[in-house]
Amino acid sequence: EAGVAQSPRYKIIEKRQSVAFWCNPISGHATLYWYQQILGQGPKLLIQFQNNGVVDDSQLPKDRFSAERLKGVDSTLKIQPAKLEDSAVYLCASSGYLDTGELFFGEGSRLTVL
């Protein structure tokens, strides 16, 4: 079974530029999550999708962050314009078995904003 795929693995941009991260969850997983992990901290939930609908985006800074999940499969997280404090690892996770509750994570996309 293929795992959660994320790209790019690393990205360096200047502040005020834009960036997009892509996630392909495990096949058949209905729930997809984007987390932000700042160095030395735990992952912070940004947005949760159930199929292609948003379940929770209460912690997503909507003035600069946007996310979509087309056709309930792949997802894209965009930041525009980026700020220095957006430097973090952006983790995508998926879950297809609500009774077990296990999340499967990708390797993450590390963003550095200069």
36 binds another protein (CB under 8 A): no
Given the complex with another protein, which of 81 and 96 has the nearer CB atom? 96
Among 14, 53, 71, 101, binds another protein (CB under 8 A): 101
> How far apart, in whole angstroms, are the C-alpha atoms of residue 100 and residue 41?
25
Given the complex with another protein, which of 14 and 40 has the nearer CB atom? 40
In this structure, how many other beta carbons lie within 10 angstroms of the beta carbon of residue 52? 14
CB contact at 8 A, 8 and 83: no
> Any idea of the CA torsion for 50, 52, 57, 61, to the nearest 10 degrees?
150
34 binds another protein (CB under 8 A): no
Q: Which of residues 46-75 bind another protein (CB under 8 A)?
A: 48, 55-56
- Residue 101's Cβ-side half-sphere holds a number of Cα atoms within 13 Å equal to 0
Among 93, 94, 111, 113, binds another protein (CB under 8 A): 93
Q: By the criterion CB under 8 A, which residues form the site for another protein?
A: 4, 31, 33, 35, 41-45, 48, 55-56, 91, 93, 98, 100-108, 110
